[in-house]
Structure 1
Amino acid sequence: MKFRFKARLGACMLLGAALSGHAMAQKFEELAATPQMGWNSWNKFACEIDERLIRETADAMVKQGMKDAGYQYINIDDCWHGVRDADGNIQPDAKRFPSGMKALADYVHGKGLKLGIYSDAGATTCGGHPGSRGHEYQDAITYARWGIDYVKYDWCDTKGLNAEAAYTTMRDAIRAAGRPMLFSICEWGDNKPWEWAGPVGHSWRTTGDIAPCWDCEIGHGSWSSLGVLRILDKQAPARKFAGPGHWNDMDMLEVGNGMTEDEDRAHMSIWAMLASPLISGNDLRTMPEATRRILTHAGIIAINQDKLGIPAFRAYADGRMEVWARPLADGQWALMFLNRSGQAIDYRHDWREHPIGDDVSKRSAEFGKTTYRWSDVWGKRTGDTSTKLETRIAPRSALVLRLAITNQESK
């Protein structure tokens, strides 16, 4: 009884302090200076999760070279929940997680990684488990005691709630709990979170859930999951709101979950170019070498993690072919030539006829005045912008070039 009294008293004191300083509460600003990288259980396993899977995935993240490539979060999605105890404290499912979350966090931390967990702004999660509505501060304290490093916060069962207020409440609860936890807003873009979530979370979903397909929409009654291109086509309004510490989240990666190798490579390229978090959603324990190479590719990850933090924009579109440009640090650029179609394209790009200008970064590249050296990020080719680019781009694939200035003519 003494423990329960102390737990209740501590939570009440923390809640009171948090509410008194509500206007001054902030997220942990030191997190997510670049888009977060990790793994999430949902895409591959949905509710079929347990502590053995999480431990083995942490092992695999190290063994497969993903940790060395920059991935650090092991995120448990929906269905880990048990019931709340007599004091309202959330408990993990005792059958799935018999050792408890603190022991699991200790194991993940022992691998040099971080552990994430899932909850929901409503009374129940999307899977029908206990959500955090009315228990925000209590849950944040619990997560802090367990050693959690990342909170993904969903938007099911939220009829009548104001999204900004609900997510701000959980942000304040995490801050009051005192442990730095990355706050991932999973509101599906319904309430334009890019317009208000910068001070609230470290990332926010811009669309509904992803599906492992190139260009499709799969209906689920009142909502749909979207293929890679459908998600890409919804990003333009949110671009100017993203940057270090606050990212547009295009949902977890489907690399390794059934698309072709070219589609997977293009999918990874799109997420890297648009500075989306890189959260893999496949089975790390059994992934083939081709999948591992895509997920750990140093060149494409470097574009995603570029310190300037400005996402790409669509510079040109020519039927089936699109050219996306991303300003990078140190005066560099990344360009993605995206073949959306199911047929190969023989493409010729005259640099001088296609200068680039970006209203967000206030950067431009006038190839008639400046020569850039380019390197093929996925391949081994190099060249420069003094000569036309001639290339063949496979169906549903992307060519990504990184450009650095080699010569600038004086006016």
Structure 2
Amino acid sequence: MTVFIGATGNCWAQKAEGLASTPQMGWNSWNKFACDIDERLIRETADAMVRQGLKDVGFQYVNIDDCWQGQRDADGNIQPDPKRFPSGMKALADYVHGKGLKLGIYSDAGATTCGGRPGSRGHEYQDARTYARWGIDYVKYDWCDTPGLNAEAAYTTMRDAIAKAGRPMVFSICEWGMSKPWEWAGHVGHSWRTTPDIYNCFDCEYSPGFSTGLGVLRILDKQANLRKFAGPGHWNDMDMLEVGNGMSEDEDRAHLSIWAMMASPLILGNDLRSMTEATRRILTNPGVIAVSQDKLGVQALRILADGPLEIYAKPLEGDQWALMFLNRSNQAVDVRHDWKAHLLTDDLSKRSVDFKQTVYRWSDLWSKKTGDTSAKLEARLAPHSVLMLRLTSPAKP
């Protein structure tokens, strides 16, 4: 536990330091399975994360979302659903840890969760102690059933409870961006949701009533002006990934690329046990994962918008850059990019490149093609696809 000593001598508990120094990588049960979960699914998912090579590229958290809860016992201690999790959470955590992975769990700031199960309101310290005893490594904390609650205060209470429990746990704030958590959550959680839930489409919005679901591009557009709040240990969370859940391969590649460029946590939302080889290759692309996990921790900025074509740039360690050319439209577009016509500048990281003065080599992280910035870049982008490049200065290969 890390403790901060204030000027007056008072002590405040802090979130666990040293966690999420790069955006979290893992899996969550909600997008694919919602409430249809049990301990067998979690064990099999941990097995698949190892077998499919996901652990090897950095995915480590296996996160149980809503509906794992049973009732509280006579002393108020939360119990797992005995039918779904008969072996208990400690045994499940031990199994996941035995795979070299980590286990995450879900609760809610309200009295009940979004799925109608017991939430943590009034039981924050008790629940945090229980999670620590079970061996939990990650807590996603939702925002249903919270009328009249102040978000910052509610999340700070759970942060303090986790700190007092004595076990380092990633604290993922899932408040949907309603109270602008990027303005206050940097010292409270390791990441915070910036939007309503994701919906499994590339460019749409789904509003069935209480909830709203946003497609990939709608979520991307809501990140404007938020990049200054992100960095090592505190990330803008664009929600869980829908890769492998039914979009096209081009859309899946673009989806993962966007999340990597924007330094959002990469939390998978598909069925790892039965994914296609194409999906596995997308999710284990080492070049794209490396951009996500770059230690500089700078979120990308949009540097050019030309109709449906947008260009995003992300400064990387070692005077390197990642560039993403995004085709937002339903039609193919041609890329004709003259490097020397554009000065690449990022005021946030204080980095700039004049391609008239410096030639960078580039490698296409999806096609593996290579080239350099001495010649114009020409490519044809399919609908809803990306061209993602890593730029390396010749002086620093």
The TM-score normalised by the length of structure 2 is 0.96
Q: Secondary structure at the match of 2:198?
A: coil
The reply on whether 1:238 has 2:231 as its aligned counterpart is no
Distance (Å, rounded) in 1 between the aligned partners of 2:31 and 2:210: 20
Distance (Å, rounded) in 1 between the aligned partners of 2:342 and 2:119: 51
The residue number in structure 1 matching 2:47 is 59
The residue number in structure 1 matching 2:335 is 347
Shift of 1:369: 1.4
CA offset digits 1:371-403 (Å, max 9, x no partner): 111110111211111110011111100000000
CA offset digits 1:4-24 (Å, max 9, x no partner): xxxxxxxxxxxxxxxxx9842
Moved more, 141-150 or 375-384: 375-384
Distance (Å, rounded) in 1 between the aligned partners of 2:70 and 2:10: 30
The reply on whether 1:76 has 2:75 as its aligned counterpart is no
**8 Å contact kept, 1:189–1:206:** yes
**8 Å contact kept, 1:22–1:172:** no
The residue correspondences of 1:248-267 to structure 2 (distance < 5 A) are 248-267=236-255
Shift of 1:164: 0.5
The residue number in structure 1 matching 2:257 is 269
Distance (Å, rounded) in 2 between the aligned partners of 1:222 and 1:66: 35
Shift of 1:356: 1.2
Distance (Å, rounded) in 2 between the aligned partners of 1:135 and 1:111: 31
The residue number in structure 1 matching 2:292 is 304
The residue number in structure 2 matching 1:85 is 73
**8 Å contact kept, 1:375–1:383:** yes
Shift of 1:237: 2.4
CA offset digits 1:102-157 (Å, max 9, x no partner): 00000000100000000000000000110000000000000000000000000001
Aligned residues: 388
The residue correspondences of 1:177-192 to structure 2 (distance < 5 A) are 177-192=165-180
**8 Å contact kept, 1:370–1:407:** no
The reply on whether 1:383 has 2:371 as its aligned counterpart is yes
Distance (Å, rounded) in 2 between the aligned partners of 1:148 and 1:234: 31
The reply on whether 1:106 has 2:89 as its aligned counterpart is no
Shift of 1:355: 1.4
Distance (Å, rounded) in 2 between the aligned partners of 1:190 and 1:36: 22
Q: Secondary structure at the match of 1:299?
A: helix
Distance (Å, rounded) in 2 between the aligned partners of 1:220 and 1:344: 32
The TM-score normalised by the length of structure 1 is 0.93
Structure 1 runs, 4 residues or longer, greater than 6 Å off: none
CA offset digits 1:290-330 (Å, max 9, x no partner): 00011111000000000000010100000010000000000
Structure 1: gaps (5+ residues): 1-20
The reply on whether 1:281 has 2:281 as its aligned counterpart is no
Instruction: Percent identity, please.
Output: 77
The residue number in structure 1 matching 2:199 is 211
Distance (Å, rounded) in 2 between the aligned partners of 1:165 and 1:348: 50
CA offset digits 1:171-195 (Å, max 9, x no partner): 0000000000000000000111111
**8 Å contact kept, 1:372–1:404:** yes
Aligned partner letter, 1:72 = Q
Q: Secondary structure at the match of 1:137?
A: helix
The residue number in structure 2 matching 1:43 is 31
Shift of 1:223: 3.0
The residue number in structure 2 matching 1:398 is 386
Distance (Å, rounded) in 2 between the aligned partners of 1:109 and 1:245: 22
Aligned partner letter, 1:147 = G
Aligned partner letter, 1:217 = E
Q: Secondary structure at the match of 1:24?
A: strand
Which is helix-richer, 1 or 2? 1
Distance (Å, rounded) in 2 between the aligned partners of 1:382 and 1:339: 20
Q: Secondary structure at the match of 2:197?
A: coil
The residue number in structure 2 matching 1:141 is 129
The reply on whether 1:174 has 2:185 as its aligned counterpart is no
Structure 2: gaps (5+ residues): 1-8
**8 Å contact kept, 1:371–1:407:** no
Distance (Å, rounded) in 1 between the aligned partners of 2:353 and 2:382: 27
The reply on whether 1:334 has 2:322 as its aligned counterpart is yes
CA offset digits 1:201-238 (Å, max 9, x no partner): 00000101001101000002133100000000000122
Shift of 1:28: 0.6
Instruction: Call closer, same or farther: CA 1:22–1:97 in 2, change over 3 Å.
Output: farther
Distance (Å, rounded) in 1 between the aligned partners of 2:353 and 2:193: 31
